[in-house]
């Protein structure tokens, strides 16, 4: 194009050319100033004022890309449509655009309409395909809904202004998800951003997933809820149907009834129920039955064109119905996947538990084998040891007056006794004895055991507190073994606080018994320095001790007793007094009166 074209030639062409500069002034090629075109209506029905962000002339001026618009006759003040080709200029005129207005031949226009219709259908199909493909990969309900709603409102495909999903649970309806602008002002911002970013549908899905802050319409819809019984009859009838229904704001509201469109702020909307698929149906609607069975109602899709007020075509509404149908299937698939996941998780948990049991069993078998060997060994050692010790004792008696020899014999006797104690502990741990169960009041047993050792605690300067409930704490167990369990723990505290060691390391000890329906707990807590870190995980294993001189069987034996009573031992550290706290858990009140085979 240049300004060398003769004016008479231009008059003969169905063309009008002018240049719009950066100041939005329009001039002919000869430099004649034209009145500003004012309002331009784009073919996408956006209404924009020359110079505003949405104006295609302005956009071309900015991004240097050509635009094409077709203005329908009623917008051109005539009977013919007008095409606008907007071409950005370069060089010295960069920032200005050349606008070519061309009358459209009606024959061409008809052809063009057919093309546009096909193109629209193709776009819709493309969107539906993308939505379905995205749904195949998604299990999360909110993501499924976002994909559907984004597809319904996406660009030039289904192009509803807004889409909502309301969930129906029994008689109650809850706003779950919404996509689109809350009002006209927001519509300008959203659509301008979409025009500029030119996101594909897949990118839009990703962006919706990534959005951390819920958009205003989402925050709005989450606050909506009502009872179906209170809804206007029109809505209830719509939910009984399979297909799409148009809802229109009634001129007068029924007193006391809920008007859904008042809630969403639209004059008219289109609603499709979303049902889980009935058995044997397919998302493409080929049930093969005259009256297909209806699945459970899960909610409904609601769309509107509250901003542009454009009437959707029947193709749009078909696409909406199709989306609702596919949503039903996606929900069902998500539910089945969740069920499957739960089953899988249950299986994994069961396997993990089995592994743990096997490990425990293996460990128990190993310990039992060690126990048998230890038991036999202890027996074999004990008999000669009895002789050694017994004769040493006789020697001590016989050697009266021979102090040195007597001292030697005495040492033999003492060392033999020490070995004998170790053997007794090994025998006791290695060869578990049968439980003789009866009703035992653990509170009384705790009181008896602490009383037995009260003097020892006083000697070590340890103040002990016994907390037991007023009512008996009945457990079904072996009284001697439960005494042993208590004694081991108390003796353990005493041993760790021998006066000879460092004058005592803890000052307070709490022995507490508590019981509820499910468990009986014996708590032994002190204010000492606690169990050394390196021993925490193995504290209840045999041959683990914080003291060099100890064999490390006490707590292992206590745990063994607890486990044989259906309970266990745990270390809580720091405990309620700041030091170690050993919690023995036994069966609760509910189990207390039922004999359990030990």
Residue ranges that bind another protein, judged by CB under 8 A: 375, 378-379, 382-394, 413, 416-417, 420, 424, 427-428, 431-434
Min CB(387)–another protein separation in Å: 4
Min CB(390)–another protein separation in Å: 4
Q: Which residues contact 168 (CB under 8 A, 6 or more apart)?
A: 228, 239, 297, 298, 299, 300
User: Whose Cβ is closer to another protein: residue 406's or residue 417's?
Assistant: 417
User: Whose Cβ is closer to another protein: residue 223's or residue 383's?
Assistant: 383
User: Whose Cβ is closer to another protein: residue 268's or residue 415's?
Assistant: 415
Min CB(477)–another protein separation in Å: 17
User: What is the spatial distance between Cα 194 and Cα 536, in angstroms, rounded to a whole number?
Assistant: 59
Min CB(526)–another protein separation in Å: 31
User: What is the spatial distance between Cα 75 and Cα 82, in angstroms, rounded to a whole number?
Assistant: 9
Task: State the pairing for strand pair 474-477/82-88.
Answer: unpaired
User: What is the spatial distance between Cα 271 and Cα 302, in angstroms, rounded to a whole number?
Assistant: 5
Residue indicated by tokens 């505003």: 52
Min CB(416)–another protein separation in Å: 6
Among residues 371, 366, 558, which one has the least CA distance to residue 449? 558
Verify cis geometry, omega within 30 degrees of 0, for the bond prior to 574.
yes
Cα 335 to chain centroid distance, Å, stands at 15
User: Whose Cβ is closer to another protein: residue 224's or residue 385's?
Assistant: 385
Residue 58 DSSP SS3:
helix
Min CB(378)–another protein separation in Å: 7
Min CB(385)–another protein separation in Å: 7
Min CB(444)–another protein separation in Å: 25
User: Whose Cβ is closer to another protein: residue 24's or residue 382's?
Assistant: 382
Extract the runs of DSSP E, i.e. beta strands, from 454-554: 463-467, 474-477, 508-515, 519-526
Min CB(450)–another protein separation in Å: 26
User: What is the spatial distance between Cα 565 and Cα 596, in angstroms, rounded to a whole number?
Assistant: 8
User: Whose Cβ is closer to another protein: residue 10's or residue 427's?
Assistant: 427
Residue 420 DSSP SS3:
helix
User: Whose Cβ is closer to another protein: residue 197's or residue 387's?
Assistant: 387
User: Whose Cβ is closer to another protein: residue 294's or residue 382's?
Assistant: 382
User: What is the spatial distance between Cα 491 and Cα 487, in angstroms, rounded to a whole number?
Assistant: 6
Are the C-beta atoms of 112 and 120 separated by less than 8 Å?
A: no
User: Whose Cβ is closer to another protein: residue 50's or residue 388's?
Assistant: 388
User: Whose Cβ is closer to another protein: residue 326's or residue 481's?
Assistant: 481
Question: Which tokens sit at 72?
Answer: 């329908």
Min CB(438)–another protein separation in Å: 16
Q: Quick one: 282 exposed, middle or buried, by C-beta within 10 A (0-12, 13-18, 19+)?
A: exposed
**Which secondary-structure segment (H or E) carries 168?**
strand 162-169
DSSP-assigned states of every residue in 244-311: -EEEE--SSPPTT-B-HHHHHT-SEEEEEEEEPPPTT--TTS---SSSPPP--EEEEEEEE-TTT-PP
Min CB(417)–another protein separation in Å: 7
Question: Taking the chain, what is the end-to-end CA distance rounded to the nearest angstrom?
Answer: 103
User: Whose Cβ is closer to another protein: residue 478's or residue 527's?
Assistant: 478
């Amino acid at each position: 194009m240049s300004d060398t074209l003769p004016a008479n030639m231009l008059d003969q062409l169905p063309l009008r050319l002018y240049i719009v500069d950066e100041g939005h002034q329009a001039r002919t090629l000869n430099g004649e100033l034209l009145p500003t075109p004012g309002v331009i209506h784009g073919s996408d029905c956006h209404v924009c004022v020359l110079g505003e962000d949405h104006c295609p002339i302005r956009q071309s001026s900015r991004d240097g890309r050509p635009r094409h618009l077709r203005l329908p006759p009623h917008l051109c003040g005539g009977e013919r449509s007008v095409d606008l080709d907007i071409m950005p200029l370069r060089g010295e005129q960069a920032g200005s655009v050349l606008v070519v207005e061309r009358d459209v031949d009606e024959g061409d226009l008809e052809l063009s309409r057919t093309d546009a219709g096909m193109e629209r259908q193709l776009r819709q199909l493309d969107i539906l395909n993308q939505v379905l493909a995205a749904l195949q990969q998604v299990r999360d309900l909110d993501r499924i809904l976002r994909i559907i709603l984004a597809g319904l409102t996406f660009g030039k495909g289904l192009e509803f202004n807004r889409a909502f999903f309301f969930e129906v649970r029994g008689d109650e309806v809850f706003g779950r998800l919404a996509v689109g602008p809350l009002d006209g002002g927001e519509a300008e911002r959203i659509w301008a951003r979409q025009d500029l970013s030119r996101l594909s549908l897949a990118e839009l899905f990703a962006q919706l997933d990534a959005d951390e802050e819920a958009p205003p319409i989402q925050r709005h819809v989450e606050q909506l809820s009502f009872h179906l019984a209170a809804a206007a009859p029109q809505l209830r009838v719509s939910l009984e149907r399979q297909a799409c229904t148009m809802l229109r704001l009634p001129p007068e509201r029924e007193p006391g009834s809920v008007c859904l469109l008042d809630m969403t702020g639209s004059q008219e909307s289109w609603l499709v129920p979303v049902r889980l698929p009935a058995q044997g149906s397919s998302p493409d609607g080929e049930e093969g039955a005259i009256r297909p069975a209806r699945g459970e109602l899960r909610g409904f899709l609601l769309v509107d064109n509250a901003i542009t007020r454009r009437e959707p075509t029947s193709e749009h509404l078909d696409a909406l119905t199709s989306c609702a149908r596919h949503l039903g299937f996606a929900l069902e698939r998500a539910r089945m996947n969740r069920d499957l996941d739960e089953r899988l998780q249950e299986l994994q948990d069961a396997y993990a538990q089995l592994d743990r049991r096997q490990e425990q069993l293996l460990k128990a078998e190993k310990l039992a084998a060690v126990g048998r060997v230890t038991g036999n060994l202890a027996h074999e050692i004990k008999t000669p040891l009895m002789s050694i010790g017994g004769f040493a004792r006789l020697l001590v008696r016989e050697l009266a007056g021979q102090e040195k020899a007597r001292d030697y014999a005495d040492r033999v006797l003492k060392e033999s006794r020490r070995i004998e104690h170790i053997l007794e502990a090994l025998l006791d741990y290695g060869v578990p004895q049968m439980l003789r169960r009866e009703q035992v009041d653990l509170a009384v047993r705790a009181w008896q055991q602490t009383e037995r050792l009260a003097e020892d605690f006083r000697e070590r300067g340890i103040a002990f507190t016994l907390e037991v409930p007023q009512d008996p704490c009945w457990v079904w167990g072996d009284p001697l073994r439960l005494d042993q369990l208590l004694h081991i723990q108390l003796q353990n505290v005493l041993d760790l606080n021998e006066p000879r060691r460092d004058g005592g390391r803890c000052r307070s000890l709490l022995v507490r018994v508590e019981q509820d329906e499910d468990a009986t707990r014996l708590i032994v807590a002190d204010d000492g320095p606690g169990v050394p870190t390196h021993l925490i995980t193995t504290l209840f294993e045999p041959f683990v001790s914080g003291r060099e001189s100890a064999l490390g069987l006490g707590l292992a034996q206590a745990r063994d007793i607890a486990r044989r009573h259906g309970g266990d031992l745990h270390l809580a550290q720091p405990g309620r007094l700041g030091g170690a706290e050993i919690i023995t858990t036994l069966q609760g009140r509910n189990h207390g009166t039922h004999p359990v085979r030990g």
